[in-house]
Structure 1
């Protein structure tokens, strides 16, 4: 029933065809013709009104030829052919509407994540919970552990740790001191903090992100249907040839015979079928392409822009190296230092603690029991592991508790976690967010697919961005970006269309503003998935190049199908103009042309060869079913 409500004309055409078939079966051809004529003329009249509206808006389509073809077939008595043309016309629209269906629940998730309440302090009164929208500049607020900072402001507490990954894309926790600015949307750490508001919720960072997504999505013009580009010359040629045949033969049937084989079914159905086949092929690989126009844009991409954290990198800190101090005890190997540090981090609530523990477990190191432990907020942890006292944390914290301390020389994009054992400095765990294994191959594949320029947009520092860009082979860098900076940078790019790849809430505005937005949706923010045109449901960067390849392959197949249909139709029209193709035979031959173009369009389901990019495979069946539920309009 839902399909009938969404596509009533398709359902009505199927019903009309069934009625005509039933009446013919009862031996009433005149009644069958009358039924088909009434219905086909009604659809033709409806499409004629729609065609006139489009013409007044300055948009040419193929409706003129379609309407004329329906009327012509009725005039020459080919009412069955007219019903088939109507079915192709309405069915093509239904396919396009289905391909253009977009999910909307992700944007709602972005809006729901926006801070709704705040805890306001007033002199002489207990802390009160108020709507975030009622906070004014100058209000003193209490932000509890793991709560979202409700508005922009400045930190009043001595120190605080915040997760700003949804705003800047930086995966590592950010520590602030008294007086440092705080951004709404950041997540507070394990300690409650006090802050003073400097802006209202609407004028704060998160409110601007929501506004940018909505504005950018609304400002993007729709893509013109591929078939429309061929409509005007094909229509003019068909009418001109039919008129010439009528004039020289002095037989009005020639006009109808030419138009019978000039029915625009190849134009109507070839592109939608190819687009649907392309999107189906993409879905099997875990790539959700939300509308057919995106396939056209993917085929022509000339500039590729990437976010760093979670896109070019994995978005989670990993152990890069272990530096053992020369002053460490002889029995302290790199593995023993990691084991002791991970055991102590069991008692820590710091964001990096989980990464240290994961590193130890991945190396098969058992965690030691902790008999006592004390955590020093934002600084580190002291713990007794087995019979050894271990301190883990920042340089200043570990340096003050150990002898022989030496600060590690870490490279751009790296972070040092210092370890002391029994009062002596033991070594440093070097953490980093490494480049994805297939990032270089993906960028190389994009260049082979016609991408001429690459760019990195990130909220990270210039040094970190330069390090990642050099590894990946990216030519342009823009660091220290806020969401508005990213939107402005993409708008200034000249070599278009521009493809933007990101995964966080902070990427949502620029994904909506770019020509083709691609969201890494496996672990990415829901707002990014909503704003994007393409959502990659596997944590696999190579799917970006695969999406571009599918776009190019699909458009190639669609154009080939359209031109195959046009050339075959032109050949039949020429034969009909000389009187070699009667109306009935022409209708049958035209259906063979339609079949040929549709079968050719279905080749978009197949694979084109694109060497050089390794993929993690296909998405599981159960996940595809979930994707179908989540993204169904």
Structure 2
């Protein structure tokens, strides 16, 4: 059964093997005429099939290397070297099979996510864990309460309702140790639940959830054909002309048409056709191992040449997890009560500050209270009715509109504040700070060491905060308080090119799409940013950005080197063949060794450069990654 499956997968190779076996049997039986006709028919069918594909390419304005294979097969048949013609068929079909194997191996890391994609969700009935109904994951609406059983995959992004839980997020973030979650924390789809059943309230539809977005990126990465594959075709016309010229001169000088065939069997284009795609598929696999999904080989080629880089600040250069540093209650308000009510209201908010407030309350031993009604006003804040009191947490202007006695609190560079009103009166402010990622400075240093000439920060945050982060990282160019359109304009003007932008928020989506290479911080970044970007970081770390650039350079070097290995070996062997010392059959087998050498070299893209992130970014930067809590 396995052999039949392989035969169906590679019909040209299986047909060539059968025809070769038949010819060998007929030759042993002294039936040379039958052997010749069998080989001629088999090779003729391959010539017709290849020529038809070549003609269609020519009509589309694409001139490839197939003409050399066709001419070589026709020439060997014309001079009676039908065994050599069969060897060429086996070489072409074997190269196709080997390329397919390389594709499967290179895509293995990318397809691992697809194999685990959740298909159903357990919807709880009347809040009872013992009463659930299974529904397709695509039909789950936001706000639905789901039960996630032990060792199951979280089907949709949600907020944890259970007191605490442990999740394996390694397939999403690269974090090898299970991460702990508490009530109110967001749980990413694709995370594997621990040993206890948990309840979550969904916050997004399946199509907008973390895991499904990564799966979509995987599909796109697999289906995108790298433009650099055409690199071999740029050699097609000169290589074809050189090959036919050498063969023609050999025929003219020797007066023997066999010499023409002897030269051309060594000019078959397998090394050029296979080397580039194998190398770039290997590069895509390497970036996946480093924690980055790249949308195609063209992105790898651009990454290899990056000369300018711009970073967003919050969630990119910083951890994007503001931590509470101080509670500043208004006169007559208890600090713990202020934090408790604010954190209880923030259970119903998806704002970046909400989790820091909730986490601080839980760490102080405060039990969050449920709300009878809660509503989030986009970009302003959240309102919740808790224990008969109306609690509003949000921006100062929004709170001032509801509580005229509200006053702004003084903040240091890098600090943020959430303002609170209770029953229409100002209750105080919660001060948070977003720490710089531990690996950010090393990433910037490594990029400069790899030839990046210009590094800037493009952020919508306040100038004082952005400047403080820039000073800590040694970045001198800062553009703050930017609107999305202003980010796009600045990115368009950055030189030298190519230019790379790294960001994570919805407001980064336009500039990520406009940059030569846009990289989204996908571990906790927005869906819009991931869709607009050319590559998505799956780890909660900047280190894969440096790794991807190094892999891009390595992959491009491997692709070019593999192609030149094929050209140099083929031309050298053709020149030797002009003397007639290499019979056509021997030449055909020799060219197979050239193919093998070229492809094996191209496969180097799968294994190098080794441990990129750790060599380019200080190990402590990678080891000290914070646990992801979207």
- Which TM-score applies when normalising by structure 2? 0.64
Which of 326, 332, 345 is the aligned partner of 2:342? Answer: 345
Distance 1:221 1:260 in 2: 29
C-alpha spacing 1:307/1:353, structure 2 compared with 1 (3 Å): closer
C-alpha spacing 1:44/1:348, structure 2 compared with 1 (3 Å): closer
Distance 2:578 2:483 in 1: 64
Shift of 1:355: 1.6
Distance 1:393 1:45 in 2: 68
Distance 1:294 1:317 in 2: 32
C-alpha spacing 1:417/1:497, structure 2 compared with 1 (3 Å): closer
C-alpha spacing 1:605/1:416, structure 2 compared with 1 (3 Å): same
C-alpha spacing 1:394/1:281, structure 2 compared with 1 (3 Å): closer
What's the secondary structure of 2:320's corresponding residue?
coil
Deviations 1:263-308 (A, max 9, x none): 1111111111111112122222332222222221111111222223
Equivalent runs, 1:301-320 vs 2, <5 Å: 301-319=306-324
Distance 1:94 1:372 in 2: 57
Distance 2:271 2:239 in 1: 11
Equivalent runs, 1:510-549 vs 2, <5 Å: 510-549=511-550
Distance 1:551 1:372 in 2: 51
Contact conserved, 2:308 with 2:453, CA < 8 A, in 1?
yes
| Aligned position for 1:120 | none
Which of 75, 87, 96 is the aligned partner of 1:81? Answer: 87
Deviations 1:311-365 (A, max 9, x none): 222334222x33889x999xx9xxx95x55433434434654542231344xx43
Q: Does 1:242 align with 2:241?
A: no
Distance 1:65 1:371 in 2: 74
Which of 219, 223, 230 is the aligned partner of 2:235? Answer: 230
| Aligned position for 1:491 | 492
| Aligned position for 1:127 | none
Contact conserved, 2:413 with 2:464, CA < 8 A, in 1?
yes
Distance 2:446 2:563 in 1: 28
What's the secondary structure of 1:437's corresponding residue?
coil
Q: Does 1:33 align with 2:30?
A: no
Shift of 1:539: 1.8
| Aligned position for 1:118 | none
Shift of 1:90: 5.3
C-alpha spacing 1:373/1:508, structure 2 compared with 1 (3 Å): closer
Distance 2:246 2:370 in 1: 94
Structure 1 vs Structure 2 CA RMSD = 4.8
Distance 1:496 1:426 in 2: 51
C-alpha spacing 1:519/1:347, structure 2 compared with 1 (3 Å): closer
Shift of 1:430: 2.8
Distance 1:439 1:366 in 2: 33
Deviations 1:220-251 (A, max 9, x none): 99556222333343333222222222222222
Contact conserved, 1:10 with 1:90, CA < 8 A, in 2?
no
Distance 1:49 1:487 in 2: 43
| Aligned position for 2:303 | 298
- Which TM-score applies when normalising by structure 1? 0.63
Equivalent runs, 1:19-418 vs 2, <5 Å: 19-21=18-20, 23-24=22-23, 27=26, 29-54=35-60, 57=61, 60-75=63-78, 76-77=81-82, 78-87=84-93, 225-319=230-324, 321-322=325-326, 341-349=338-346, 351=351, 352-361=353-362, 364-367=363-366, 408-416=409-417
Deviations 1:497-533 (A, max 9, x none): 2222222333333333322222222222333333322
C-alpha spacing 1:346/1:530, structure 2 compared with 1 (3 Å): closer
C-alpha spacing 1:548/1:431, structure 2 compared with 1 (3 Å): same
Contact conserved, 1:95 with 1:273, CA < 8 A, in 2?
no
The runs of 5 or more residues in structure 2 that have no matched partner are 27-33, 112-141, 144-224, 626-630
| Aligned position for 1:569 | 570
The runs of 5 or more residues in structure 1 that have no matched partner are 104-144, 147-219, 620-633
Mean alpha-carbon deviation: is it higher for 597-606 or for 368-377? Answer: 368-377
Distance 1:328 1:545 in 2: 50
What's the secondary structure of 1:261's corresponding residue?
coil
Distance 1:237 1:409 in 2: 75
Shift of 1:82: 2.7
Distance 1:479 1:582 in 2: 71
Contact conserved, 1:500 with 1:510, CA < 8 A, in 2?
yes
Deviations 1:116-145 (A, max 9, x none): xxxxxxxxxxxxxxxxxxxxxxxxxxxxx9
Distance 1:313 1:442 in 2: 12
What's the secondary structure of 1:225's corresponding residue?
helix
C-alpha spacing 1:426/1:37, structure 2 compared with 1 (3 Å): closer
Mean alpha-carbon deviation: is it higher for 456-465 or for 557-566? Answer: 456-465
Contact conserved, 2:338 with 2:428, CA < 8 A, in 1?
no
Shift of 1:543: 0.7
C-alpha spacing 1:71/1:357, structure 2 compared with 1 (3 Å): same
Shift of 1:437: 1.6
Q: How many residues align?
A: 479
Distance 2:295 2:392 in 1: 51
| Aligned position for 2:587 | 586
Shift of 1:546: 0.8
Distance 1:92 1:293 in 2: 23
C-alpha spacing 1:345/1:608, structure 2 compared with 1 (3 Å): same
